[in-house]
């Protein structure tokens, strides 16, 4: 037997009849179990090379190859996180064992483990927050995409099960008043406060805001141009900044040579939701999320009489015709949009007055 101990886990290594070198973790600290694993793996390789049988591959192998081939996907980072979380639950499953019922059990166990982990967090005062149906659907979706690729492109599986996705309600349309959003910003840490102000004053998605770079800023025209690579619509977009958003951005000057919004000299990969929720709690606001700032932006402009096409152009909301010129504003076409964006300055000024002298709470 060619099993060997690496740390506390046994590994195996051998060469297949076709000459391929195999080196793999047996995922056990028991030598006898490791030898049984190696024997079964050798038999699988022998059947594949000598008898021409298709090996029943592990889910971990499918996921690893899929990630390696899909590195250019826009969603690769989130896909990597989800597949990493799923690995302890499904990593040792064979492709033939991945069924609708099996994945339903994995989702149930994943949700239960997440609740238990939150309950064990030291100093946690909030009740455990269950995984939402939409989040579980994201896990099922990435599993389905991996299996579809394994079937259509690699020929590794014959059948892709039909997963049962969870019902999701899309009726949520949470919007807050300017006074309440202003209060949330005042209760947030400095770096988060400016992001909140910039988000609600521009309608730009949080992901694009965190990737905003100084070289995309046009100081003369007081605008930013966002490349397609950071836009969900995958279309370049020029955005005029009103006085409030411009001030929030200018407060970041000198903190980083490349990225606009940073924390302690480093780029912010993603927002710590706990910090935002704590700010909401201090401000007396409940059931409000970062993405709701984008909804509030559109609602405020609508209440001020802004035309729908201007609101959609500023927020880069997709329409049926994605080639419409409003999604391709260039510098010469910004003035009509600038007047619309500046309508929010007066709202924010009133909100700050309603909250009294500025200061952290």
C-alpha to C-alpha distance for 233 and 230, rounded to whole angstroms: 9
In this structure, are 188 and 319 located in the same domain? Answer: yes
- Domain end (from 154, 170, 203): 154
Instruction: Evaluate whether residue 162 is within a structural domain.
Output: no
Domains in the chain, number: 3
What pLDDT does 49 receive? 84
In this structure, are 336 and 262 located in the same domain? Answer: yes
Structure tokens at 6: 């690496």
C-alpha to C-alpha distance for 127 and 119, rounded to whole angstroms: 8
In this structure, are 227 and 300 located in the same domain? Answer: yes
In this structure, are 272 and 302 located in the same domain? Answer: yes
Instruction: Evaluate whether residue 70 is within a structural domain.
Output: yes
**Which CATH number do you get for residue 329?**
1.10.443.10
For residue 27, how far is the Cα from the chain centroid? 30
In this structure, are 252 and 295 located in the same domain? Answer: yes
What pLDDT does 281 receive? 93
SS3 content of the chain, % helix, strand, coil (to 5): 55, 10, 40
Instruction: Evaluate whether residue 173 is within a structural domain.
Output: no
Tell me the mean pLDDT per 10 residues along the chain, length 361: 85 89 85 90 86 83 89 85 91 88 93 89 80 92 95 89 87 85 94 94 91 93 87 80 94 94 89 88 92 92 88 72 41 73 91 77 45
With vertex at residue 171, the alpha carbon angle to CA 168 and CA 175, rounded to the nearest 5 degrees, is: 130
What pLDDT does 1 receive? 57
- Structural domain of 274: 178-354
What pLDDT does 66 receive? 93
Structure tokens at 320: 């049926």
C-alpha to C-alpha distance for 145 and 181, rounded to whole angstroms: 39
Structure tokens at 241: 């900044």
């Amino acid at each position: 037997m060619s099993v060997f101990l690496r740390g506390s886990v046994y590994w195996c290594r051998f060469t297949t009849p076709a000459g391929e070198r195999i080196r793999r973790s047996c995922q056990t600290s028991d030598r006898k179990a490791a030898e049984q694993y190696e024997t079964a793996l050798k038999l699988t390789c022998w059947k594949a090379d000598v008898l021409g049988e298709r090996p029943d591959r592990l889910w971990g192998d499918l996921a690893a190859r899929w990630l390696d081939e899909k590195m250019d996907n826009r969603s690769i980072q989130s896909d990597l996180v989800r597949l990493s979380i799923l690995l302890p639950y499904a990593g040792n499953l064979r492709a033939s064992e991945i069924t609708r019922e099996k994945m339903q059990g994995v989702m149930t166990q994943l949700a239960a483990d997440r609740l238990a982990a939150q309950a064990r967090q030291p100093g946690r005062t909030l009740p455990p927050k269950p995984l939402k149906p939409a989040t579980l659907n994201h896990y099922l979706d990435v599993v389905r995409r991996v299996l579809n690729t394994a079937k259509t492109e690699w020929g590794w599986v014959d059948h892709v099960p039909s997963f049962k996705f969870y019902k999701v309600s899309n009726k949520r349309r949470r919007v807050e008043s300017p006074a309440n959003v202003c209060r949330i910003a005042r209760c947030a840490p400095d770096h988060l406060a400016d992001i909140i102000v910039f988000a609600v004053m521009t309608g730009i998605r949080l992901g694009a805001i965190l990737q905003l770079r100084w070289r995309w800023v046009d100081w003369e025209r007081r605008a930013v141009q966002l490349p397609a690579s950071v836009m969900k619509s995958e279309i370049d977009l020029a955005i005029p900044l009103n006085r409030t958003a411009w001030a929030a951005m200018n407060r970041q000057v000198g903190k980083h040579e490349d990225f606009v919004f940073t924390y302690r000299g480093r780029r912010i990969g993603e927002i710590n939701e706990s910090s935002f929720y704590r700010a909401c709690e201090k401000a007396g606001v409940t059931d409000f999320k970062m993405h709701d700032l984008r909804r509030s932006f559109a609602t405020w402009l609508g209440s001020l009489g802004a035309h729908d096409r201007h609101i959609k152009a500023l927020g880069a909301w997709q329409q049926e015709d994605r080639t419409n010129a409003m999604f391709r504003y260039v510098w010469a076409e910004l003035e009509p949009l600038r007047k619309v964006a500046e309508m929010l300055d007066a709202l924010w000024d009133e909100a700050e007055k309603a909250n009294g002298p500025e200061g952290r709470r």
